[in-house]
Each structure stands twice: as structure tokens, then as C-alpha cells.
Structure 1
């Protein structure tokens, strides 16, 4: 286990403990030697974390030291931060804003002394950024998914044929370069996928398909051929 991860885990162990915890007990939980825990305790104290106690009597956090109710390990925190950074590459402006806000909340929730451990991360998201589709708002699609609401779209297929469709959106697939809507198409009376970059206009209706989304998703998954994009519009 990396030292940075151990620092997070030791704080978590002390935070959840009902009383003092010995270095030997923490070492057993972390799979390291007791001397490593002693060094980590000293490092935490040097960073300003109020760990009290000593050898032979055990350690505890000073009363009044506050941590967020849910605290992730450093690996878990890095996974979340990197996942949020990857959302910056997709063409969903609403999710991008939400990702930035979530990252700020994570940074604010980590105690300042431990924040410096995380700030040294060498993890970065890179690559082309997908443009937002011009004819449809992906936030509206996500809302329709949650509400099981029918959408009306003006769509142009790969051959350039224009149609107007009423679709029941059941899933949204994000690729590096675009997003696809999986939906029941009233025109084709079948499950289809619609590339969002081919949607020329869209509008939410006051028609719903309540309670049918799960069955349609099961039918979609059952029809996979190894590629979730195998059913074109």
C-alpha cells in the first residue's frame, strides 16, 4: 500500500474507532509493519492532523476534529477526480458543469492537510473534446430518460434522408466523439439508436411511457451482438 493511501486509511481508522487504536492493530489492518504506522502517525502530526497518544497506549483523533461523513481512500478519491475530468471530454455541457461542481465539492471536503497529498497526483485526462450536438440538448435527453418522457426529433440518417420521429429514450451512450440515444421508435416500431449529431431539432412532449423503460432496456441488452451501437436508426 502506498504511503499516501495509508495516511488516508489511518485517519479513517482513527475516525471510526470508539477508543484508542494501537499501532499494531492499525498495522494488522493495513498489512504493514508497526514501524511504518509510527512513521505515518508522525507524518500526519507534522501535517497538522491532531493525532493524540503514543506507543503502548494507542492513538486517537483529538475531539472536535471534523471530517466529512463519507471519506474516500486516496485511490477512491483519485478514481472519482479522474472520472470527473474525463467528463470534460464529452459533448454534454450540463454534465461538464456538474463534474466541475462535484470536483470542487470533493476538494472542499478533503481536510486541508490531506489535500496536499491529493494535489500531487500525476493523473490527467487528455484527448479531443467532443462538440455539443447542435440539434438536441443532452440534459433534456437525460431528463426524458428519468421521467420516461417521449421526445419528438427531426432526424437525418446516414443517407441524408430526413424524418420526424417520436422516440421513447431508454439509454444514452457516450462515445469519445459523440453520444447515441437508444430509444423505441414509434415510426419503425422497434428499438433504434439515434446519433445526436444527426438530430436537427428536438422537443419534449407531454406523453410518457411510465413503467416501460426497464422492459425496453432488457430487450435492448438481450439484442446486443457485442457492440451496443449495432442497431442503427
Structure 2
């Protein structure tokens, strides 16, 4: 497993907000505890809101607020992604400005919130990978709002290509990796899809309504992680 894929798996495990021991994380991802320590340091340096220390455990905390503004998740994503794009794609002057802006934002965050680590706009994942999924965001957001099923073309980690009808529930952003949480009719369960691995999005005529067990409120990150793609 590539390191970027393992870091993504760790995010999925930690997103339940509970405290996880390094030993348990190591067993879940089939690596050593020493590797987990390094991975946690990488996630923290990448801006993922992970708290914890060796010998205690690790957990993911809530997004931050910027005084005097209260940022919504979408606004935080826009700010984070904008800095990331400039930091990767612009000229040297704008790249330097993006890095200094990131440091200034970090400096004014209140001490009683979980502030991003230095360089939070410039995460570990290659920008080119995240960019592959950008074109899928508008139809997915529209489908989430309309509660409309979509047909996804998806490539799993082992290279297998599948088509699956899903109920799109939520888009999230994890340090340059965008994900879609959905109810997958092929697997009859919740799945988290990386947008950079989606090859096609086709809105379906069918709409869906809330059903017990298939709602976002029913989603169990650990169960979905165990279920695979």
C-alpha cells in the first residue's frame, strides 16, 4: 500500500472523533507502531486536525474558527484549497505570498481552538492527484442537494474498475484529498470514494429519500473502512 493511501485510511479511522491507540492503528493498517508515529506527525503537519501523543493515542478534532469570522466547512475548504492551488501552480512570488498568508492565518488563530499546524495549506498529498477529481464536484454537489442517485465509474486501490449506483451524501476535504461518502447499492453499504479515483459521474433519473440505515446519520466510519471499496 502506498503511503498516501495508508494516510487516507488512517483519516477514515480517526474521523469518528474517538481516541485510538497507536497499536490499534498499526494493526488496522498492517504497519509498525513506529510507522504510525511518523504518519501521525505527517497528518498533523499537513493540516489534518489530529490531536494526541505517543503512549496516549490519537483522535481527530473539529474544524477551526478564525476570529472575528466563523468559517463554515465550505469556506474553510475554499481557503485551504485556494492556498494549496497557489502554492503548487502559481509563480514564485504568489507561491511565497500563499505561504506567508498561511503563516499569518495560523498566527491569529485563538489559542483555545485546535489550530492547524504550520503549512496547513500545503498538505502532503500531490496536488495533481486531487485535481483529477475537481471536474466531478459540481455534479456531485448538485446530486447531494437534489437527493439524486448517480452512476460512478470508480477505480479501486488494486486497479479494478467498476460502475456502481450510489446515493451521494457528503463531500469532504482532507488535506487535498476530496472524498464522497455515499450509500453504495453494489456493496449494499456505506462507502467513501476518493474523487481522484472517480472516472465518471452520471446523474440518474431516480431520486432517493431517507431510509433507516442508509442516512448520513447512520454512517459508521469504522464499518465502512472494514468493508473496503
Larger CA Rg, structure 1 vs 2: 1
TM-score, structure 1 normalization: 0.45
The alignment's TM-score, normalised by the length of structure 2, stands at 0.46
If asked which structure has higher relative contact order (CA below 8 Å, sep 6+), I would say: 2
